[in-house]
Chains A and B, each alone.
Chain A
Amino acid sequence: MTSNVPVTYQEVFRTDRGVVYQCDASNRLILEFWDTHTQLSARDFAQFRRMVETVDIRQMALSTAAEHDVEILTPPRSERCYVLTLCEVVHLRELLTGAKLMLELNAMLRECGCTLSE
């Protein structure tokens, strides 16, 4: 999953299921999840994270209706479509929340004149 990573990509956050990179050359965040690879602007990344955060996982866990077995999410301005089970939603949420935290840390460090990594 992490082989052949372009040199302009900097790892923001990683879990067992995926990685979020930042590419300063293209000003994009790159989401690698399972075998998918999606490039997003900072705005679209935040919007997609909120979409994932607002998935009703309690309903997915408790409902016996087939329609609640999976959640279909499409990142903004992307042709990709994620069809996620409950576990995958939780894994994706963990990845995106971790990435958000690291991006916030980077912003705080930059305000102090430091950087997370170069």
Chain B
Amino acid sequence: MKDLARLRTSVKESVELALNQQIQMEMISSSKYLAMAGWCDRNGLDYSAGFFYKQSEEERKHGMKLFHYLCDQGGTAYSPEIPAVSQEFDSLRSVFEGALDQEIAVSDSINRIIGICRRENDYATEELLKWYVREQVEEEYIARRCLELIDQIPADQVYYLDKKLASVTYDGNPFE
């Protein structure tokens, strides 16, 4: 008897479901970052706004990368439902704390999917997800460094802080 599911796609159903959940998570991240960018823009924090606009675009690209992968492999990628996200924040610190929380949640989710791939012997998807692992190391570093800067730079130097936050990069990424 033919294995009809395998003829259609190399991606197992459990991996397909997990990747669709990840696509949704990336798109929700994009929406959250866009809300953060909007808040920063409204409060005169132009550099931080630019930083979050860029992050929002990146998260969408991450989601689309998985979306295209699933389609190319013969799987079913679903356009995700995006729930409403918070538009208001207490402070710049709470914005960056939210960003770090989101990045940690994404990292945990990627690790969980790699566990599923290993259980299903899906080495191709695992190989793709290794790119996300490296990306998350950088994303978490940047969010943590921004929170450190908020602690280190006096609260009355808002313009300097805003400019400094947007310039944080991870130059010492050991995976590159």
Contact = CB atoms under 8 A, between A and B. Distances in A.
Contacts, number: 37
B2 A43 contact: no
Contact of B1 (A42, A46, A47, A106): A106
B1 A29 contact: no
Contacts of A3: none
Nearest to A117: B1
Given A46-B13, A115-B1, A116-B1, A107 B6 contact: yes
Nearest to B76: A43
Contact of B76 (A12, A29, A47, A116): A47
B84 interface: no
B13 A10 contact: no
Interface in A6-61: 10, 12, 22, 24, 27, 29, 41-43, 46-47
B19 to A, nearest CB: 14
B5 to A, nearest CB: 5
B8 A22 contact: no
A102 to B, nearest CB: 9
Nearest to B13: A46
Nearest to A115: B1
A42 B76 contact: no
Interface string A80-118: 000000000000000000000001001100100001111
Interface residues of A, number: 19
Contacts of B3: 103, 106-107, 110
A83 B6 CA distance: 31
B4 interface: yes
Contacts of B8: 41-43
B4 A27 contact: yes
A12 B4 CA distance: 12
B7 interface: yes
Contacts of B1: 10, 12, 22, 24, 106, 115-118
B7 A42 contact: yes
Interface in B8-35: 8-9, 13
Given A43-B8, A43-B76, A27 B13 contact: no
Contacts of B13: 46
B2 A22 contact: yes
Can you list the 10 inter-chain pairs with the closest CB atoms, starting with the nearest?
A42-B4, A107-B3, A42-B5, A24-B2, A110-B3, A116-B1, A42-B8, A10-B1, A106-B1, A115-B1
